[in-house]
Chain A
Amino acid sequence: MKDFDLEKLERKNIYKVPENLFENIQGKVLSGLNDFDLEKLERKNIYTVPENLFENIQENVLNNVLPAKKAPVFKLNWGYAVAASLALIFGATFVFNNDNSKGTDSQATVASNNQEKKTESEIAYETLKSDLTSVENNNQTVVNQSDNKSFAKDEQNEGQETATKTVKPVSKKEETQVNEYLDSFSNSEITELASNSTQDVYLDLYN
């Protein structure tokens, strides 16, 4: 290629060119796209939209902003309230009617129950009396108990005082019973009992 002359080389375009290039260019120019006016284009929404879109949105929003989905719960409470009121009214009417028909019987029952209660309280009272009697037999007299006042509260003392007050008549009764019992013995039997018993030396000291 020593004698290469650029001037003698053929003028050639070697780049690839799409088919109908110039027709297309002319077509675009002439089609009026150059005069394209956006304002004349139809306003369209071309995006896909799921079904029930707005129903779902409204439901979600209402669930969120109105935890007053309480509303049905509130209605349900009213239902319960009405049912409860009716039950109460019918129940009360039923009980009231029964009370009227069985009034005498029930009163009698109450009376007998009261009698039974009195018996029980008497039993309890007797038990208390016997307990207090046993205390008195151990030489814990009313006077001795009153000495303890300074160590006990007023309330307790009041209780003790009432207790000791009740002791007195019981102890007298017991004494008479003991005396009657002793009278039933003959003199010889008493002598025999005395000889069998031992003398309590400390008893003299306190007497």
Chain B
Amino acid sequence: MKIKDTEIISLMQNPRTQEKGVRALMDAYQSRLYWHIRRIIVDGDLAQDTLQETFIKAYQNFHQFKNDSQLYTWLYRIATNEALQQVNKLKKMQKTDEDPEYYMQNLVADNTEGDAEEIQLLLQNAIQSLPEKQKLVFMMRYYDDLPYEEISKIVDMSVGTLKTNYHYAKQKIEEYIKENYER
């Protein structure tokens, strides 16, 4: 049985039921947040650490959550920030002569299931070739089907800019797949 956000919020706000609240929060959002983080970071271990950190931060800063926004919007915001921080750390650790796109595509290949379809693999590589903002917008819209209004609150961009970014992202991905797909 799915627990409602209002129930999770009231559990989290009461110190006596906070543990129950954290459990309910994780049960409700762990899968969605994990895959959101995983698509940004790709690396499995790092994605796990990042999701853990996301929940810890959510717990520690729950007093800052305002009921005027959706709970998942707030959680996505934390998860996105955490994931981007990890990606930036990776970039700093990367060798200067290594092509970032090539590095990410290798990471995709290493983390993909053996029986994955070629077109799905190409899609992931295409996503990794996108600029950061386009990548975020595309993933939240394409995979999580989030409304532009909510994505706007997560990444601090206007709805118009988001729509434009999504359009360009989709176009680039389709071109990438057409160019690289082999039958």
Chain B interface residue count, CB cutoff 8 Å, equals 38
Contact A46 B183 (CB under 8 A): no
User: Does B112 reach chain A (CB closer than 8 Å)?
Assistant: yes
Instruction: Please name all residues of chain A whose beta carbon is closer than 8 Å to the beta carbon of B170 when the two chains form the complex.
Output: 38
Report the Cα distance A65→B21, complex, angstroms.
12
Report the Cα distance A34→B120, complex, angstroms.
17
Min distance, Cβ A27 to any Cβ of chain B, angstroms: 6
Report the Cα distance A24→B181, complex, angstroms.
12
Instruction: Please name all residues of chain B whose beta carbon is closer than 8 Å to the beta carbon of A62 when the two chains form the complex.
Output: 19, 22-23
Q: Identify the stretch in B82-90, B94-102, B172-180 within 8 Å (CB) of chain A at 4 or more residues.
A: B172-180
Contact B55 A31 (CB under 8 A): no
Instruction: Please name all residues of chain B whose beta carbon is closer than 8 Å to the beta carbon of A61 when the two chains form the complex.
Output: 22, 26, 52, 55-56, 59
Digitize A141-165: 1 where CB-to-B-CB distance is under 8 Å, 0 elsewhere.
0000000000000000000000000
Instruction: Please name all residues of chain A whose beta carbon is closer than 8 Å to the beta carbon of B160 when the two chains form the complex.
Output: none
| Size class of the contact patch on chain A | 20 to 34
Report the Cα distance A64→B19, complex, angstroms.
12
Contact A65 B56 (CB under 8 A): yes
Q: Identify the stretch in A50-58, A116-124, A127-135 within 8 Å (CB) of chain B at 4 or more residues.
A: A50-58
Task: State the main secondary structure of chain A at its contact with B.
Answer: helix
User: Does B31 reach chain A (CB closer than 8 Å)?
Assistant: yes
User: Does B8 reach chain A (CB closer than 8 Å)?
Assistant: no
Report the Cα distance A126→B17, complex, angstroms.
75
User: Does A47 reach chain B (CB closer than 8 Å)?
Assistant: yes
User: Does A28 reach chain B (CB closer than 8 Å)?
Assistant: yes
User: Does A2 reach chain B (CB closer than 8 Å)?
Assistant: no
Instruction: Please name all residues of chain A whose beta carbon is closer than 8 Å to the beta carbon of B42 when the two chains form the complex.
Output: 47
Q: Which of B18, B44, B55, B142 contacts A43 (CB 8 A)?
A: B142
Report the Cα distance A48→B121, complex, angstroms.
13
Give A44's nearest chain B residue, CB to CB.
Answer: B120
Given A58-B26, A65-B59 in contact, is the A47-B48 Cβ separation under 8 Å? no
Report the Cα distance A77→B10, complex, angstroms.
30
Contact A53 B112 (CB under 8 A): no
Report the Cα distance A58→B29, complex, angstroms.
12
Contact A31 B183 (CB under 8 A): yes
Report the Cα distance A53→B51, complex, angstroms.
11
Output the residue of A49, A61, A64 with the most chain B CB within 10 A.
Answer: A61
Min distance, Cβ A44 to any Cβ of chain B, angstroms: 5
Contact A57 B48 (CB under 8 A): yes
Contact A47 B113 (CB under 8 A): yes
Contact A68 B113 (CB under 8 A): no
User: Does B124 reach chain A (CB closer than 8 Å)?
Assistant: yes
A37-93 at interface with B (beta carbon < 8 Å):
37-38, 41, 43-50, 53-54, 56-58, 60-62, 64-66, 68
Identify the 4 closest CB pairs spanning chains A and B, nearest first: A46-B116, A65-B59, A61-B55, A47-B111
